[in-house]
């Protein structure tokens, strides 16, 4: 969860209304919260840091797994209970849970004032002006918010949403139902925005989309967009997330290899190392195709870092399927992995398929993959001790305020003893120690 504290200086605090936003889930949601704040800034709202200071409290929510949805339901009930009766504070849910559960939320959560899906943010001002509980959960296959300037937070890294929605309908996934069909944002709008982002001092951009590499606008495909972003002056690094393996092609691989600013890191969800499970999930590729894709990526980008998403306990996953996943993860030598227990989502194609793997077994499989991945990441990172890397400095180190922290090109967190580097700059760092999640070192003189 993240709270957004970017403020708008367009409006005098005396006349503006106070907005508090909490964001759950993926980077798309964080970027959407910036759109929400941007849209409401033009209606006279400014952000505050605490819910107690707010006239409007909005939770931008995630419904990818049941746990995420339960967490949000609990939090919104808590905020409603805390609302002082003598003040008119409007509390609402935005994003994927809003779209998934729709008007029903207004019945099941007494005191909730508004519900707004991912395509309704343009109309938030009207929703907030309503006297009664309201819902706007209309999906709109044309909505891209192209004309709304996101209120970006401070820092070195900016998000740029380049496409929205998903057409893939993997059997386990709620995203196509709550975010609607795939649509890309016009290239000229994106490049103009990226130039502005660079002028504002951001050094790194992360291109976002649910299947980000399915981007296409007119003649420009994802590879073409990467090449255009690579040309924007002031931007030092270009990243993207999340690509789908079946949407990857030679043009994109070549662009990654040839564009100096496109970072040598890819998050490439595999979900399972078993062809039977991939088929059941309708992922659109086999294990062999994934393996081949990674080999081609590594050939084009020799220092590539690789991460993935894996689901354990999908209905029908046998012990052998699971072993195949464990073996594939070892073979791929992932730098990092996001590991999940399968969570049935209402409305998806897999919903209703008997859950054949017990909760206990799912837990055991997850634990094993986590332990194996921790060990693997530790080994990979320890082999970096003694090498040099380049860090984009983004903050002081959490536990050592006289040290600095940032990401290297491979998106690994590096904390280091500085010798002159400042926030927002690139520093050469010699790695002296490594854990499974962090590299530690010293800036080169």
**Binding-residue pattern over the window 160 to 199 for ligand 5AD, x denoting contact by CB under 6 A:** ------------xx--------------------------
Q: Which of 205, 245, 244 is nearest to 226 (CA)?
A: 205
Q: Find out whether 301 and 264 touch, Cβ atoms under 8 Å.
A: yes
In the list 59, 156, 173, 268, the residue contacting ligand SF4 (rule: CB under 6 A) is: 173
Shortest Cβ distance from residue 167 to ligand SF4 (Å)?
Answer: 8
Q: Backbone phi, then psi, for 436, in 5-degree steps? A: -70, -20
211 near ligand SF4, judged by CB under 6 A: yes
- CA dist 63 and 97 (Å) reads 5
Peptide bond into 242 cis (omega under 30): yes
- Please state, as a whole number, how many other Cβ atoms lie within 10 Å of the Cβ of residue 219: 7
Beta bridge partners of 2: 23
Task: Could you list the beta-strand ranges (E) of 68-170.
Answer: 90-95, 114-116, 134-136, 157-161, 163-164
Q: Find out whether 339 and 366 touch, Cβ atoms under 8 Å.
A: yes
Shortest Cβ distance from residue 117 to ligand SF4 (Å)?
Answer: 16
In the list 144, 271, 325, 408, the residue contacting ligand 5AD (rule: CB under 6 A) is: 271
334 near ligand 5AD, judged by CB under 6 A: no
Q: Find out whether 436 and 427 touch, Cβ atoms under 8 Å.
A: no
Residue count at the site for ligand SF4 (CB under 6 A)?
10
The answer for residues whose C-beta is within 8 angstroms of residue 49's C-beta and 6 or more apart is 3, 5, 20
In the list 343, 381, 389, 408, the residue contacting ligand 5AD (rule: CB under 6 A) is: 343
Shortest Cβ distance from residue 176 to ligand SF4 (Å)?
Answer: 5
Shortest Cβ distance from residue 331 to ligand 5AD (Å)?
Answer: 19
175 near ligand SF4, judged by CB under 6 A: yes
Pick the stretch among 166-174, 200-208, 228-236, 317-325 that binds ligand SF4 (CB under 6 A): 166-174
* 345 binding partner (options ligand SF4, ligand 5AD, none; Cβ < 5 to 8 Å by kind): ligand 5AD
* 211 binding partner (options ligand 5AD, ligand SF4, none; Cβ < 5 to 8 Å by kind): ligand SF4
Q: Is 300 exposed, middle or buried (0-12, 13-18, 19+ CB in 10 A)?
A: middle
338 near ligand SF4, judged by CB under 6 A: no
Interacting residues toward ligand SF4 by CB under 6 A: 166, 168-170, 173, 175-176, 210-211, 244
Q: Which parts of this chain interact with ligand 5AD (CB under 6 A)?
A: 64-65, 172-173, 269, 271, 309, 311, 340, 342-343, 345
């Amino acid at each position: 969860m993240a709270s957004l504290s970017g403020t708008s200086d367009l409006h005098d605090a005396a006349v503006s209304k106070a907005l508090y936003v909490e964001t759950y889930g993926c980077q798309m949601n964080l970027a959407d919260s910036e759109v929400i704040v941007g849209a409401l800034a033009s209606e006279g709202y400014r952000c505050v840091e605490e819910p107690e200071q707010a006239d409007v409290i909005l939770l931008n929510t995630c419904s990818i797994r049941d746990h995420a949805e339960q967490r949000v339901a609990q939090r919104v009930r808590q905020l409603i209970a805390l609302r002082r009766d003598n003040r008119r504070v409007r509390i609402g849910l935005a994003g994927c849970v809003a779209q998934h559960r729709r008007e029903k939320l207004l019945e099941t959560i007494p005191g909730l004032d508004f519900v707004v899906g991912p395509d309704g943010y343009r109309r938030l001002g009207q929703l907030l002006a309503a006297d009664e509980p309201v819902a706007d959960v209309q999906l709109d296959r044309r909505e891209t918010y192209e004309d709304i300037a996101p209120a970006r937070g401070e820092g070195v890294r900016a998000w740029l949403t380049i496409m929205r929605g998903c057409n893939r309908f993997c059997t386990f996934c709620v995203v196509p139902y709550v975010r609607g069909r795939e649509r890309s944002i016009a290239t000229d709008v994106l490049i103009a925005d990226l130039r502005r982002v660079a002028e504002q001092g951001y050094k790194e951009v992360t291109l976002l989309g649910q299947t980000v590499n399915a981007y296409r606008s007119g003649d420009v495909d994802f590879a073409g967009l990467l090449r255009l972003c690579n040309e924007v002056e002031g931007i030092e690094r270009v990243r993207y997330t999340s690509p789908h393996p079946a949407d990857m092609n030679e043009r994109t691989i070549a662009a990654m290899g040839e564009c100096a600013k496109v970072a040598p890191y890819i998050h490439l969800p595999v979900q399972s190392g078993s062809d039977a499970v991939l088929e059941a999930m309708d992922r659109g590729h086999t294990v062999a195709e994934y393996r081949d894709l990674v080999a081609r990526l590594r050939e084009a980008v020799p220092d590539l870092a690789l991460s993935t998403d894996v689901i354990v306990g999908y209905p029908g996953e046998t012990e052998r399927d699971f072993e195949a996943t464990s073996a594939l993860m070892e073979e791929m030598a992932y730098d990092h992995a996001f590991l999940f227990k399968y969570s049935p989502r209402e409305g998806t194609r897999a919903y209703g398929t008997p859950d054949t793997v017990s909760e206990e077994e799912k837990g055991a499989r997850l634990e094993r993959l986590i332990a194996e991945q921790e060990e693997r990441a530790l080994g990979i990172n320890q082999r970096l001790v003694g090498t040099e890397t380049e860090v984009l400095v983004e903050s002081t180190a959490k536990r050592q305020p006289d040290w600095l922290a940032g990401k290297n090109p491979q998106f690994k967190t590096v904390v280091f003893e500085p010798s002159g580097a400042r926030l927002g700059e690139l520093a050469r760092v010699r790695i002296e120690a490594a854990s499974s999640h962090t590299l530690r070192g010293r800036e080169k003189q």
